[in-house]
Structure formats: C-alpha cells, structure tokens
Amino acid sequence: MLSLNALLAGGRAALAARWIPAASSLLLPNIESLQMQQVRGRKRAHKQPLSRAQKQARREAKLAKELERKKYTFMERVRIAKMHKLQSPSHLYPGRMLPEQEETLLENPPCNVYVRSAVKTQYYSVKDAILMHRESQQPAMFNHPKAPIRLRLELNMSTERSTKKVADTTEIVPVPYTFTHGQKRSILAFVADLKLQEEALAAGAEFALGPEIVKKIVKGQFRTEDFDFAVAHTDMAMAIPPIRGILKKKFPTKLNGGLGDDIAQLVEKFKTGVQYTIKGDPIYPDWGLCDTIVGKLDMPPDELEMNVNCLIEAVCKHRNAVLGPFINRAVLMVVPGDEYFSLKIDHLLPVPTAEEIEKFEKQKKKKKKEKKEEKLLAEEEGAAAEVEEDETEDAPPVPAAATA
C-alpha cells in the first residue's frame, strides 16, 4: 500500500501537470492578433507672428489690467478681499426680499400647505401674523406664550447723492403701549430748576444736575461714559453746547427727542420707549437693517399693531419720501424662533406731495446745471493755460545783454 506522503506527492504532480501548460500559454505572444498601429501626436501650429490689431489689443488689455490694479492701494485691496469673505447681514436668515428673483414664482399658494420658496412673498396684517405666531408658541408646541415680538425692517439706504448713504443711528421712540424690555438704561438729566431736578429723579434718572456740572464735564472731573442716554430741559439749552463734542451722539437735541419742556416725560420716554438702530450693510452699501423688539406675544394684537405703526413712522423720517419707499420689507418674528411673516405696510409709508416732488426736481436740475457750468469753466481755464504755454514757447529768446 502507498503511504499518505506518496499519495500527496502524486496529487501535487498531477495538479502541476494540469496547470502549467495553461499558465505558460498565457505568457506566449499571439502573433496573429497583433496589428501594427501608428499613433501620431496632434499637429501643433507653429508660432505665427501677431498682426498689428492683435498686438494693439494685447497692449490695451495689459494697460486696462494695470489701471485696474492701480485703482486701489495695497491696504485697500486687502480690505476689499476681507470684505468679500464676509457674509452680508442682509443675507442672514430670513434674508432680503428681492422682487426680481420672484418674477417667475406663483402669485398665490395652491393650498394652505406649500413650499415657501416656490411662491411669491405673502403679506399679512399685524393681527394675522400675531395670531399665527400664537399658534406655534402654544404649550403643545414651542411653549413661549410671552415671547418677545421682533420687528425686522429691510431698508434702502440710498440718498440724493450716489456717494452718500443714510447715516447709522440709534434712537428711542415712545410707544403707546409699554412693556418690560429687559434693558438697563442709565439716564443723565440736565435741568437748572431744583424742583424739576427732583421730578427727573423721581421719573427714573440716575443724576439730575444743573449748569455747574458742565465745567466739570469739560475738565474731565465727571464721567459721562457711564450713562446710556442724556436728556435736557430747555432752560439748559444755552449751557450744554460746550459738551457737545464729549457727549457726541448722546447730546440731547430736538431731533433725537432728548430736549424738551417736560423733563419727567423725557426721562419716562427714554426709560420705557423702544430703542432701534439703523445700520448700513458693509457689503452692500445701498442696503440696511433695523431690528428691534416691539412688544410681547401675550399683549393684545391692537396694542402690538399700534407699537409697530409708531416705530415704522419714526424710521421713515430718516429718508426723503421723494426717493421712494425707505422700507423694502417688514418681517414679524418671535424670539426665540425661525418662523416669520411679512407685513402689509404700504399704507404706513409716507407719500410725497406734488410740491415736495416739484421742489426735489428743481434742486436736482439746479445741481446738474451747476456741475455743467463748473465743467465748462474748468475746460475754458485748461484751454487758456494751453494757449499761454504755446505763446511762451513760440516767443523769441531774450538776449542776455538785454536782460542785464
């Protein structure tokens, strides 16, 4: 009998005999299947000489590129590059409404459940927007029945001059229905009468001081940086101008509502009023935003509507109505939350009268005429200077003896 080792050796030999020819046949070349193929490279055109027109076009392109580069300094180019990387505040949620992007969208939604991006912006009254926010903030859902109401206004910052925009500003507007805004506002009151000083302190002012404090502020003996706002009675109107440069935007005037006859009412207004800030977009200078809190969700809808109307009226005073609507869109939101509803505010926007439009057009024509006259005058002066230079060049040289 054969041993186990012999059987295994025989099996290995048989396997080797079976697989070697097949493996070696794969390595042998098949002459019949080989075909001679010539692969030639792409014919490259030799460098041809440029025509005069092509050379001129290249020179002009190079010159234009150089002029574009020299338009800004190195630091300006660095600043512009950084700004391009920034995100515009107007593009942050919920973004800015652009009518040209909604031209191809549906006018009205087909049913009460729809994709918002597939339909044009839907506008609601303040009451309807409040009721819809209350549905989402009920205890069974987000459970914020007393959430603050946030009003977001998209603004158009352009003015009569293309290089000038609406200035950034922070103001306080007295609203008909006050609420707890949660802000700690320290107020400095300027008033000469001692009785009125007591009234200001009773209304909530931190300090109520008379004319003697003005000199101390100028000398730096009294810090005004510790106060958020300043109000003044009309009896101090002639005493406070020396500290205008120190108070800066806090300086009380009739325009910002900080100067008046009723000092207690002024303090109350700055304590309980709605603070809003108009701020331009650093990426798109023609755009701006105003974002503020106008009330609480548990307030009656009529009261909230009055507060919204009051704020919109105050914001619209910062731009000439002849230039068109200052507010591009008004959005009502809840804090916290992402749900928003666009408001119908066309009836609140100021409409310019025929006299205002006529006056604006006259001023526009006058400025255009003045610019044209200045341009003609500059051209005439330049032509006269050229003629004078030509005359001096054509004049015969004066002999040295004659000059002596």
Do 223 and 299 lie in one domain? The reply is no
Q: What percent of the chain has pLDDT over 90?
A: 36
The more confidently predicted of residues 50 and 46 is 50
Do 266 and 277 lie in one domain? The reply is no
Do 158 and 289 lie in one domain? The reply is yes
- Asked whether residue 389 is domain-assigned, the answer is no
Do 263 and 283 lie in one domain? The reply is no
CB contact at 8 A, 191 and 208: yes
Last residue of a domain, one of 250, 272, 294: 272
Do 142 and 280 lie in one domain? The reply is yes
Q: What percent of the chain has pLDDT over 70?
A: 83
Compute the half-sphere exposure of residue 383: CA atoms within 13 Å on the CB side of its CA: 6
Query: CA angle 322-158-72, nearest 5°?
Result: 150
Do 206 and 350 lie in one domain? The reply is no
Q: What is the pLDDT of residues 77-135, one digit of tens each?
A: 777 777 666 778 888 889 899 988 888 888 888 888 888 888 999 999 999 999 999 99
Burial of 323 (0-12, 13-18, 19+ CB in 10 A): middle
Which pairing describes strands 229-233 and 187-190: parallel, antiparallel, or unpaired? parallel
Q: Is 165 helix (H, G, I), strand (E, B) or coil?
A: strand
Do 265 and 295 lie in one domain? The reply is no
- Asked whether residue 388 is domain-assigned, the answer is no
Last residue of a domain, one of 204, 237, 272: 272
CB contact at 8 A, 288 and 322: no
Q: What pLDDT, on the 0 to 100 scale, is given for residue 1?
A: 47
The more confidently predicted of residues 39 and 349 is 349
- Asked whether residue 117 is domain-assigned, the answer is no
Do 214 and 344 lie in one domain? The reply is no
Q: Could you give the CA distance from residue 11 to residue 268 in angstroms, rounded to a whole number?
A: 108
Do 210 and 352 lie in one domain? The reply is no
- Asked whether residue 172 is domain-assigned, the answer is yes
For the chain, the average pLDDT equals 83
- CATH number, domain of 227, equals 3.40.50.790
Token pair belonging to 347: 């009836």
For the residues 353-378, what does the mean pLDDT come to? 83
- Asked whether residue 302 is domain-assigned, the answer is yes
Q: What pLDDT, on the 0 to 100 scale, is given for residue 376?
A: 81
Q: How many domains does the chain have?
A: 2
Residue recorded with tokens 């051209």: 379
User: Predicted confidence band at 404 (pLDDT cuts at 50, 70, 90)?
Assistant: very low
Q: Hey, how many other C-beta atoms are within 10 angstroms of the C-beta on 173? A: 19
For the residues 146-170, what does the mean pLDDT come to? 90
In the predicted structure, residue 188 carries a pLDDT above the cut 80: yes
Last residue of a domain, one of 215, 250, 272: 272
Residue 349 neighbours by CB under 8 Å, 6+ apart: 312, 316, 321, 325, 326, 327
- CATH number, domain of 279, equals 3.30.190.20
Q: Give me the long-range contacts of 298-303 (CB less than 8 A, separation at least 24).
A: 298/145, 298/146, 299/149, 299/177, 299/179, 301/126, 301/127, 301/130, 301/131, 302/127, 303/176, 303/177
Q: Could you give the CA distance from residue 253 to residue 118 in angstroms, rounded to a whole number?
A: 48
Do 169 and 186 lie in one domain? The reply is no
Do 168 and 297 lie in one domain? The reply is yes
Do 129 and 252 lie in one domain? The reply is no
- Asked whether residue 81 is domain-assigned, the answer is no
Domain that holds residue 333: 122-177+273-362
Q: What pLDDT, on the 0 to 100 scale, is given for residue 256?
A: 82
